[in-house]
Structure 1
């Protein structure tokens, strides 16, 4: 059962956490939900092979899990962990771990804070070829990725002057077989001034990051900037920024990854529920554009974003998964599920189903030690009522490598050399949940992802459709049955189809 714990609670897991953070944890409410999932599945193509080599299999899954949420004025904790044991009729048994954990704490009021995250997940090694399907054995194109981030920082508001922040961040990314092994140390200094006169404000920052990669020489990034915001009215404001940057990697494009940059733009906020921020500028790689728009109605929430930036795959793994979709649902479900902790559990469960059986809600990430210029357009929309929830995600991502392909030759032996010099992805995902009655719900998910190499003649397409019926047997016990259809095609051959059916029993304790 769900366990809610206040400051007078008996000793338990939350109390152990409070010993680690004694100052902010005293007034924290805890929700602890242990659970167990039992699932029996059948697939007609367990190894995701072409139809002539397809082999069927029965899969038994045992998955104990723990969800933990802590909420207080000075401490926020979220943990979603599961261990999954798979027993196959015709293959050796396997197991996997999945973890998403984060915490934010204010240790010394108005001064000392700490933020931390950790994750364990299965990830595609290559964007081409078979992709991960929840519940199926490994296809040879996947590995486990572990990420950690620890960031203590000092932040204080100086009255009539502004806010100052000094932050240190330690990040690590590692994978099975040492395919990826990276850690970085970053120091950031941020200053933001109080509004003056008619509301104009300023900000300044300095950022330095040292990165150690097992496959590369040490790299150092430095960036400094200043910015201004000038409001023309209660709805419109102009923005501008300028600075210098040095990425520190050895570029293969002929352009040094350093120089001055600038941007100008504006912010439109016609109401508290609508905001649009846009800008254009120039960096060492050329003209840049950005867009960040949000629109909230009673039952509908939209988010539209466009960005251009230099990034790496380890940096993408360190981002919080499906954070945009989770924020949209959180805003919409506040009236339906007033309890914030119970609402978070429902969001996790909904996104786990929407993302676990189809293409990712975001871009397909893959193993690489290269730097990329990434241009990404994403649209996420959610509609929620008391009986129905729909979430739609559309992504278009263009990645152009900025460093030589030779450093990835050992990662992708089955992929044509240089095929990832430039890739373009287009993907979409639609998830729908309908509460047919007080005890019965219907869930449908459809995902499409296309990955195209613009440097080699190759294009892969992935389509997954699932449909399921869930029935509450007891207050803490739910049974469901799900059908799945997956299809993969490629201009290089190796296409396959997979059909599966599963029966699941979920129990909370």
Structure 2
């Protein structure tokens, strides 16, 4: 595990060495936090088995940044260490770690570029079970996921006629769950889009092929290899009706090679789309068409005013658990707040720092309400709707988001046999998740923030009568004692039920945290 975690950083280090001059400055910031929590249900066990206790959490970490005209690198790492009064409870863990790192580099101007990312985070094993609610020490229904992706690409301008891009991506995803070990992906894609020669009429053509190699456990021990692949080709034509309105049509072909449940896994794709940008603050993109799995739609609506930001996104696509680890579909809290603060803080670097400081002081999650990307080795048709709004008044900042996600499995359930066991093979067949999150932060003074956050989520199986729900409510009071030191106190109540056995769990907790930068 440790070796693979270290290897996840090699693509970033390679890009760093190739892209950045030796005299550039690095910004290295050591971090540390200590948290003491009292919980009446430390491991989120079912109510009749709940055990109370104190939890001491120590979190050393660091942040590494470097930005220039050719290079944009960031790395955040934290190691969480837990100690329990009266001994560690069943379902609680000794340690966990979190890593988030990104790199964008211009290796050769106007020719060769590279993107890379690496991550380690804690992920729910199943949507039918206890969910994370700021109690990181819980091990029940949780696994560590490690991923990295490196993607060099070439760009070229064919005069005023067209612009081209050729990209190669290599990625790896692994978990500490025996049912979903390691997988490696290799993708090559090409894109050609119209240049300035085309004024009213525009076009772009793209082609992609991806191959995924997976290690699947087998009964009796050991693993077997499985290879799945996909390829697609698309042609888009568009017409600029006005400066604000573009209308178009598209056509292409999708082909997936996996162990399916029967029926077509490939077919023609076609439809129409529209892009409307009435102002710099409002944009709308929508499409309607048909793919091999049936009707297909998409929507992306964004609007911001001086005090509000609105965001609505809908999509349907063939997806998998690993692809969503590499390219998450959640709406970032930082992105929403960045748009909200834009009128008050024009400078993007200053605004980004202000956003991160606000998220930390208010105790906000890194992403708004979204569905649980539960562990599975299967492909699915996912239909997802996310809607969110943020608004700001003189002393308050509020966020509200809702989501609805429907997953219909397209590949055989046998590949999840080691993950779920024979008695639960239908657990992930077809599911629907519905949830919402609301938060309101109030600043009584320049150094103090009080935040109330509520989450609610319902999960149901479309294959049987299994259901699950989760509710949590948190009140956080935070104060900045200096530019580098922050303290907070949080009250938390969690309630929920598991779809496996219908077990119910409840937690009431209070915690105090002190964090600092060196």
Q: TM-score, normalised by structure 2?
A: 0.89
Cross-structure match for 2:513 = 504
Q: CA deviation at 1:236?
A: 1.6
Shift in CA distance, 351/242, structure 1 to aligned 2, threshold 3 Å: farther
Work out whether 1:76 is the aligned partner of 2:72: yes
Q: CA deviation at 1:239?
A: 1.5
Paired residue total: 491
- Partners in 1 of 2:55 and 2:450 — Cα distance? 23
**What aligned pairs does 1:397-476 form with structure 2 within 5 A after superposition?**
397-413=405-421, 416-476=424-484
**What aligned pairs does 1:22-421 form with structure 2 within 5 A after superposition?**
23-25=19-21, 30-92=26-88, 94-180=94-180, 181-196=182-197, 198-215=199-216, 217-252=226-261, 254-320=262-328, 322=330, 324-338=332-346, 340-348=348-356, 350-351=358-359, 353-355=363-365, 361-384=369-392, 387-413=395-421, 416-421=424-429
- Partners in 2 of 1:273 and 1:279 — Cα distance? 21
- Partners in 2 of 1:463 and 1:152 — Cα distance? 43
Q: CA deviation at 1:381?
A: 1.8
Cross-structure match for 2:485 = 477
- Contact 1:18–1:26, Cα closer than 8 Å, also in 2: no
Q: CA deviation at 1:32?
A: 3.5
Q: CA deviation at 1:396?
A: 0.4
Shift in CA distance, 44/415, structure 1 to aligned 2, threshold 3 Å: farther
Which stretch shifts more, 212-221 or 342-351? 342-351
Shift in CA distance, 332/31, structure 1 to aligned 2, threshold 3 Å: farther
- Partners in 1 of 2:455 and 2:317 — Cα distance? 26
- Partners in 1 of 2:117 and 2:70 — Cα distance? 17
Q: Give the secondary structure class of the aligned counterpart of 1:184.
A: strand
Q: Give the secondary structure class of the aligned counterpart of 1:46.
A: coil
Shift in CA distance, 321/372, structure 1 to aligned 2, threshold 3 Å: closer
Q: Give the secondary structure class of the aligned counterpart of 1:366.
A: coil
- Contact 2:443–2:450, Cα closer than 8 Å, also in 1: yes
- Contact 2:65–2:74, Cα closer than 8 Å, also in 1: yes
- Contact 1:255–1:285, Cα closer than 8 Å, also in 2: no
- Partners in 2 of 1:75 and 1:178 — Cα distance? 38
Shift in CA distance, 69/330, structure 1 to aligned 2, threshold 3 Å: farther
Q: CA deviation at 1:421?
A: 1.1
Q: CA deviation at 1:316?
A: 0.8
CA deviation string 1:228-264 (max 9, x = no partner): 1111112221121111121111210x21211111121
- Partners in 2 of 1:373 and 1:20 — Cα distance? 37
The runs of 5 or more residues in structure 1 that have no matched partner are 1-15
- Contact 1:79–1:99, Cα closer than 8 Å, also in 2: yes
- Partners in 2 of 1:56 and 1:474 — Cα distance? 34
Shift in CA distance, 33/335, structure 1 to aligned 2, threshold 3 Å: farther
- Partners in 1 of 2:393 and 2:66 — Cα distance? 26
Q: TM-score, normalised by structure 1?
A: 0.91
- Partners in 2 of 1:385 and 1:18 — Cα distance? 45
Q: CA deviation at 1:355?
A: 2.3
Q: CA deviation at 1:80?
A: 1.8
Cross-structure match for 2:7 = none
Shift in CA distance, 498/295, structure 1 to aligned 2, threshold 3 Å: same
Q: CA RMSD in A?
A: 2.3
- Contact 1:448–1:464, Cα closer than 8 Å, also in 2: yes
Shift in CA distance, 320/399, structure 1 to aligned 2, threshold 3 Å: closer
Which stretch shifts more, 300-309 or 18-27? 18-27
Q: Give the secondary structure class of the aligned counterpart of 1:176.
A: strand
- Partners in 2 of 1:366 and 1:266 — Cα distance? 33
Q: Give the secondary structure class of the aligned counterpart of 1:149.
A: strand
